Amino acid sequence: MIDFSALFSQLFSTLWWLLPVFVLIALFKSPWFKGFIGEVMVNMAAKLFLNKEDYHLIKNVTIPTEDGTTQIDHIIVSRFGVFVVETKNMKGWIFGTERQKQWTQQIFKSKHRFQNPLHQNYKHTKTLETALELTPEKLISVVVFVGDSTFKTDMPENVTHGGGYIRYIKSKTQILLRESEVQQIIQQIADGRLKPSFKTSRQHAKHVRKIVAAKTPQPVSESSKACPKCGSEMLLRTSKKGPQAGNQFWGCSTFPKCRTVAAYE
């Protein structure tokens, strides 16, 4: 009779090292780890290429709001404005426009929609505007993508990739704040933020899940097909003239700016 207990013990003693390997693999593939690596890369770029006397980096700031909390990846305070930085660690092709509610990530034939990071960072910027009692022009929204991603549509100048966000920040040379105001803002953020901790992060994550759950899911319809060229919504249209009259086809919703069409299947 086979002693399964002894067999299992022998296998475990021989292959125990595989368990931490599997744990590490799962960790490296997790969204949390990708986000962490993205923030580390942004932090390193700021520390290496921004003068510490002129630019003051504050990272992972959670601020209480009327309906919960909002979490800001990085705030860079300078005489040239308060830069509110949102980090995205993504790969593949990225399609999106400034006004679209959702952008598209494409990896080979797989497409995934995600919230427009400019809209996401707008809440962060407005929260800081209220908390710091600053006028809108003194807060500058910046979105930085890290990872193996490529923009397939023209992006606004404040949507950057990799170290491009450093060049964008340095391009702002108009002095908007006095040095005394810079120091005051740094102190206000320190006094108003929630203490960085696992508990704070967990509470914020719970708040985000609550918001997502409260939204009514939008079913994917035939008219939600994404344009392969610009990422905008494709609409189902009907030919009115010529030999194809009466036949349906996909047409980009931004026509005539984008004239992409596709056969309806």
Contact 59, 152 (CB under 8 A): no
Which pLDDT does position 147 carry in this prediction? 84
Which pLDDT does position 31 carry in this prediction? 54
* Alpha-carbon span 265 to 258, nearest angstrom: 21
Helices (H) and strands (E) in the chain, counts: 7, 12
User: What is the number of other CB atoms lying within 10 angstroms of the CB of residue 58?
Assistant: 16
Which pLDDT does position 15 carry in this prediction? 58
Which pLDDT does position 236 carry in this prediction? 80
Enumerate residue ranges in the chain where pLDDT < 70.
1-39, 195-224, 242-244, 246, 264-265
Which pLDDT does position 70 carry in this prediction? 86
Which pLDDT does position 132 carry in this prediction? 92
Show the 3-state SS of 217-252. Answer: CCCCCHHHCECCCCCCEEEEEECCCCCCCCCEEEEE
Locus of tokens 């980096």:
57
Contact 61, 71 (CB under 8 A): yes
Locus of tokens 């010529």:
242
What phi, psi does 235 have (nearest 5°)? Answer: -110, 145
Supply the pTM of this predicted model.
Answer: 0.64
* Alpha-carbon span 26 to 76, nearest angstrom: 32
Tokens representing residue 173 in the block: 């040379």
Angle between helices 18-29 and 31-49 (to 10 degrees): 70
Which pLDDT does position 206 carry in this prediction? 54
Q: Go through 124-149 and write b for each residue having 16 or more CB atoms within 10 A of its CB, e for each that does not.
A: bbbbbbebbebeeebbbbbbbbbbeb
DSSP-assigned states of every residue in 117-147: HHHHHHHHHHHHHHHHT--GGGEEEEEEEES
Q: Go through 172-206 and write b for each residue having 16 or more CB atoms within 10 A of its CB, e for each that does not.
A: eeeebbeeebbeebeebbeeebbeeeeebbebbee
Which pLDDT does position 40 carry in this prediction? 76
Name the residue type at position 19: L
Pick from 39, 46, 77: nearest CA to 167: 46
DSSP-assigned states of every residue in 50-98: S-TTTEEEEEEEEEEETTEEEEEEEEEEETTEEEEEEEEE--EEEE--T
Pick from 107, 79, 75: nearest CA to 91: 107
Locus of tokens 């002894």:
6
In which element (H, E) is residue 149 found? Answer: strand 149-151
